[in-house]
Structure 1
Amino acid sequence: MSALELTLSELLNKPKATLANLRGTRRIVLRRRDDEDLVLTTAARADQDLEVMSATSRMFVEMMRTPKGRTLVLDMLPATFPWVRYLPAHDVRAFSVELVDALGAATLLDNTAGVAQLLAEWRHTAEVHADPELYAALTTDSGEDYGPVPEPGSAA
């Protein structure tokens, strides 16, 4: 189900009419001109979404505890995350283990940011493996050491 898209101004100018839209949709995306968009939903629906994510994560974690489950997960990863096709086999296994760990932690912490970060990192790793020139540039040791890298934000 797609979200209803409205502007933040519509909520501010017509709050009752805007919020009444939640009866007909799961969420409202409030578009903002100069900042990140917001999502409105009901607390009950947010709780339902969290419960579904938590149950799915727990099932996935338990599945990975068995040899059959690990095989099944490794077999279905390319359909779920097509970019894993570019990863070497040992990295696909490492990704599956890290994903299960991150999902378990996300469930306990009630915070999915770590899972999103992990997916982005592994997707970028796959992008490097998919590009032979980039892979060679990043893995070839030129023999030169340019010294320590300064902390972000510090003067170089």
Structure 2
Amino acid sequence: MSATTPAGVLPLSAEEEAVMRALGRLMLVLPRALNHDLEQGQRMTASEYSVLRNLSESEHGLMRMSELAQACDMSLSGMTRLAAKLESHGYVQRIKCEDDARGWNAVLTEKGLARLREAWPTHLASVRRRIFDHLGDLDLQSLAKALNAIAGEA
């Protein structure tokens, strides 16, 4: 870019620019690719998979709708619509919060857990093929730490 560099900020090196552009492309392409693989192999979206996975990892398979929305990086209204769809398939049940009459919980059903287990091999193969097959000998612990640090600054 030909704009003047702000005072005290070093311009990006060619290598840094390449990394920044590759990360930008990855943020667009990878979610679409993982979603495509789940839709093709399981007729399930990545968002649906994420809801079932997060519920399966929670205590008693239950989460407040607001917490589930946050865990899945969705708005509460988006989560409400998705939970209604999953409920219509029998994968999730929505129940009133015992300690807060205004709140709702999402609960993973046995059918939902079975559906997650059915979809998991497809998702695992997709993640291996689209991510880990390309990382070679990279130090995965350092990579995860760096990516989490980047995400934490957002």
Q: If the length of structure 2 is used for normalisation, what is the TM-score?
A: 0.29
TM-score (structure 1 length as normaliser)? 0.29
The structure number with the bigger radius of gyration is 1
